[in-house]
Every structure is written in C-alpha cells, then in structure tokens.
Structure 1
Amino acid sequence: MTAISDRPQMLPEEFEEFARLLARTAERIRPELINGKLGVKPVPDGDHGRMIQWLLRICIQARPELYLHDQGLKIQGYRGSFARPDGTLAHADAFVGTGEWAETSDVLMVAEVTSYDSDTNRRDRVEKPRAYAEAGIPVYLLIDRDSAEVTVYSQPDGVRYETAQILPFGKTVHLPEPVGISLDTEPLKNWVR
C-alpha cells in the first residue's frame, strides 16, 4: 500500500488535485497541507460553528468593512502549504474572483477553534502558528476549547509570532492592529464540553 504520508512532502499542485477529489468523496473531513505535510481537520460540530458565528457578528459590528470569510489560503513559505482557517478576516471583497485557495496579502487575521480530535495540538497549536507567521498574517486568534483559553498571536517576524497573549474565557481580549477589535469572551464558556 502506498500512503501519501510516506513521501517527504506533497507538491502544491498534487495537493490541489487531491483536495478536489477528496471533496467529492469525503463528507466529514477537510484537507490541509501545512509545511508539506498532509493533514485533515474534522468538519466542525455545532459548538464550534457557534463560536465562529459569535466572532463573525462581533467583527461585522465593530468593523463593517471587514468580513470573516471561510476561505482557503495558500500559505507560501519554505514548502507549499494550503490551510482552511475556521475564519479569515479581510475586507469584504478581498477574495472576489479568487478560487478555492487565495493568497494571504489581504488577510488581517486568521481564527481557529480547536476540535476535539487527537491532531488538534499539532495542527492548531504548533504547525499553524508557525505557518501563519511565515506567511506574514498579522494576527492569529486561537480559541482553545480544551483549555478554555484564547491565544492571540501577533507581530509575525517571518518565522514565528513574537507575541502570544493567553487569556481564559471570560476575559476581554484585545486584537491588535490592523484588526483593532475587543472581544468579550464570556459567551465562549457556554459552548465548551
């Protein structure tokens, strides 16, 4: 049996074809290619979706010119990568005319909500902060359901984020510029197991 993970890395064009095929056959997973490693993330559950709705509403109320998109991103770095953040904050028309995978130049923030699976630690807490920082995305918001904490990564230096602020659910979180939005995270307590 030949497995994709047996290869040292998957080429970006191979991933795009694989993702198209998988989308037609698999209903409960979403593929990602982070730093040349193929990964999948489960389709979000209801609480996960509600957290994204909460964030979307706050972003639209605070900054009506922005939108929290469900957009796949080409994360250019040392190896080709493709990620589908739970939310991608950019101007409302930032991705008009792009395909399934867009460049990151217009992205102000990406947001992830952890899933209850064994891969979430590696994917959301280790690989994605590095990949998003390498792509120069100004802010990475991680809503961590396991620890009931929010982590705000900022000041990417092209390799990593220089700042990571961790606050428990219930505190007010300030998303730095270019986002410039404050989040009252008290409601997040209602959507964790």
Structure 2
Amino acid sequence: MTAMAHEPDPTQEELLLESFLALETPEGFKAELIEGEIIVSPAPDGDHQDAIDLIVVQVYGRSRVPMQQSGNTGLILPRGGLCPKNHAIPDITFAPRELRLFRGAPAWMPCTGVAMVAEVTSTRPQGDRVAKRHCYARGGIPLHLLVDREEGMVTLLSEPVAADYTEVHAAAFGKPIALPEPFGFELETADFA
C-alpha cells in the first residue's frame, strides 16, 4: 500500500487571494485587494469623473511623450499586509503609448511600464491617501497623482523607495503642479475646485 502525497493546507494569504479572485462584483462596483482587505467600492459620482477627465485631457494634449490610459485595468502589486499580492484598480493608469501596455492585457496585469497612476478621493479617502500610496510605491510606479477633493489639494508623489515615495509635492486647487518627464508639463488644477 502506498501513501498518498498530502498537499499542504492553503495559507490564510492564499485563501484570501483565492476568495478575492473568485468574487462576482455587482455591476457598477469595483473590488480591490489592498493590504489584506477586500474593498468593494460603488461607482463614483460625477465630480469624481469630471476630475479624471480634466487630468486625461491635459495629459493627452500636453505630454511630451504620447500617452495611453486605462481606468479599468487592475494592477498586481508586490506583497503588503496579509496578502501575497495587492490588486488595485487606479482611477487612471498612464503608460507611454509606444509600449501599448494595455493591448491584450488581462484584467489583472503587472505594473511594469506604468508611468503614473492617479487617484481621485471618493468614498474611502484614507485608502487613496495611505494604503494605495504604499502599494504603488512597492510596485515601483514612478509617479502617483492624488486629487484630494476633501482637502482641496493635488499631491504628486515620486521617487518610490521600498513602501513609500520620497518626494512629495502638493498644491492647493487653483495652483499648477509640475509633472516631470515623460509628461513634462504643469497640470492645471483650478477646475478641480
């Protein structure tokens, strides 16, 4: 009689990731796995979408390098918290058009090649301000733009090292904020107010 090989029981981290990936999110909602917490968010309001549009229009019209963007692509980011990988859906993800990063990409893709992610605060502003900031830094995403509607501020985080960004530049709504290369222009923020 031969002994059957016993597969090890899945870890809590593996079970969490498996449960997250099996979620059937209701239409109009998005689900993310951030620092060991499954977050389901409702569709954003019109002001949120307007802020996203203001960013996209400026990036497309003023960037020194042609960009492409996605508002629906999930990024797989390095380990943090209790989960083997974080799974975040930025409000906007930008990459140089020449990379064609989003063509044929799966629903959850690695963050290699991403030039900037942008978040506009909504129902869970602390998640946008803190948890996602650390996830994006761990992923080595060069630029993270945060439009904080409650605070009336735009913050550009750059120079990721380990789990945070080492450069932080903030401007009140109405003051421009410089986006470095490959963007190479000042983002106008007056219409965010």
TM-score tier, shorter chain, comes to 0.7 to 0.9
Instruction: Give deviations 1:73-127, integer Å, cap 9, x for gaps.
Output: 1112343111110000112321111111111001000000000x2x321x11110
| 1:4 equivalent in structure 2 | none
TM-score by length of 2: 0.84
Cα distance in 2 for partners of 1:180, 1:36 equals 36
Cα distance in 2 for partners of 1:161, 1:35 equals 17
Cα distance in 1 for partners of 2:104, 2:175 equals 38
1:110/1:140 contact within 8 Å kept: yes
Cα distance in 1 for partners of 2:18, 2:57 equals 35
Matched, 1:180 2:184: yes
2:170/2:177 contact within 8 Å kept: no
1:109 maps to which of 116, 122, 139: 116
| 1:135 equivalent in structure 2 | 139
Cα distance in 1 for partners of 2:16, 2:161 equals 25
| 1:3 equivalent in structure 2 | none
Shift of 1:159: 1.8
Runs of 5+ consecutive residues of structure 1 not aligned to the other structure: 1-6
1:33/1:39 contact within 8 Å kept: yes
Instruction: Give deviations 1:24-69, integer Å, cap 9, x for gaps.
Output: xx13421100122211222111111111111111111123620221
For residues 91-170 of structure 1, the aligned pairs below 5 Å read 91-92=96-97, 93-115=100-122, 117=123, 119-121=124-126, 123-170=127-174
2:168 is paired with a residue whose SS is strand
Matched, 1:171 2:175: yes
Letter in 2 for 1:73: L
| 1:12 equivalent in structure 2 | 17
2:78 maps to which of 76, 79, 104: 76
1:55 is paired with a residue whose SS is helix
2:57 is paired with a residue whose SS is helix
Cα distance in 2 for partners of 1:163, 1:106 equals 20
Matched, 1:65 2:72: no
CA RMSD after TM alignment: 1.8
Letter in 2 for 1:113: V
Cα distance in 1 for partners of 2:59, 2:113 equals 16
Instruction: Give deviations 1:142-193, integer Å, cap 9, x for gaps.
Output: 000001100111000122100111110000100123432311111111xxxx
2:113 is paired with a residue whose SS is coil
Letter in 2 for 1:114: T
TM-score by length of 1: 0.84
Shift of 1:8: 5.8
Residue-pair matches, total: 175
Letter in 2 for 1:14: S
Cα distance in 2 for partners of 1:13, 1:166 equals 38
Which protein is bigger by CA-based radius of gyration? Answer: 2
Q: Name the one with the larger helix percent.
A: 1
